[in-house]
Amino acid sequence: MIRLGILGYGNLGRGVEKAVMHTTDVKLCAVFTRRDPSKLSIATAGVPVYSADDLAAHKDDIDVLILCGGSANDLPVQTPEAAKLFNVVDSFDTHARVPEHFANVDAAAKASGKVGIISIGWDPGLFSLMRLYSNAVLPEGSDYTFWGRGVSQGHSDAIRRIEGVKDARQYTVPVSAALEKVRNGENPTLTTREKHTRECYVVAEEGADKAKIENAIKTMPNYFADYDTTVNFISEEELKAKHNAIPHGGSVIRTGTTGDGSNKHVIEFSLKLDSNPEFTSSVLVAFARAAYRLNSEGVTGCKTIFDIPPAYLIDKSGEDIRAHML
**Residue 13 burial (C-beta neighbours within 10 Å; 0-12, 13-18, 19+):** buried
Are 171 and 247 spatial neighbours (Cβ–Cβ below 8 Å)? no
Site for a copy of itself in 91-130 (CB under 8 A): 95, 98-99, 102, 119, 124, 126, 128-130
- Tell which one of 210, 226, 274, 296 touches a copy of itself (CB under 8 A): 274
Beta-bridge partner residues of 65: 5, 88
- Dihedral of CA atoms 268, 15, 8, 217 in degrees, nearest 10, equals 50
Question: Of 49-57, 202-210, 227-235, 305-313, which segment contacts a copy of itself by CB under 8 A?
Answer: 305-313
User: Considering the complex, what minimum distance in angstroms separates the CB of residue 131 from a copy of itself?
Assistant: 4
Residues 150-169 binding a copy of itself (CB under 8 A) are none
| Angle CA 282–285–287, to nearest 5 | 115
Q: Are 151 and 145 in contact (CB under 8 A)?
A: no
**Span of 164-172, 202-210, 211-219, 304-312 interacting with a copy of itself by CB under 8 A:** 304-312
Residue 325 half-sphere exposure toward CB, CA atoms < 13 A: 10
Query: What residues numbered 57-96 form the site for a copy of itself, per CB under 8 A?
Result: 95
Helix (H, G, I), strand (E, B) or coil at 30: strand
Among 54, 241, 272, 296, binds a copy of itself (CB under 8 A): 272
- 1 contacts a copy of itself (rule: CB under 8 A): no
* Cα separation, 74 vs 67, whole angstroms: 9
Residues contributing to the site for a copy of itself (CB under 8 A)? 15, 18-19, 22-23, 95, 98-99, 102, 119, 124, 126, 128-133, 135-140, 258-260, 262-275, 278-279, 281-283, 286, 304-311, 313-314, 318-319, 321-323, 325-326
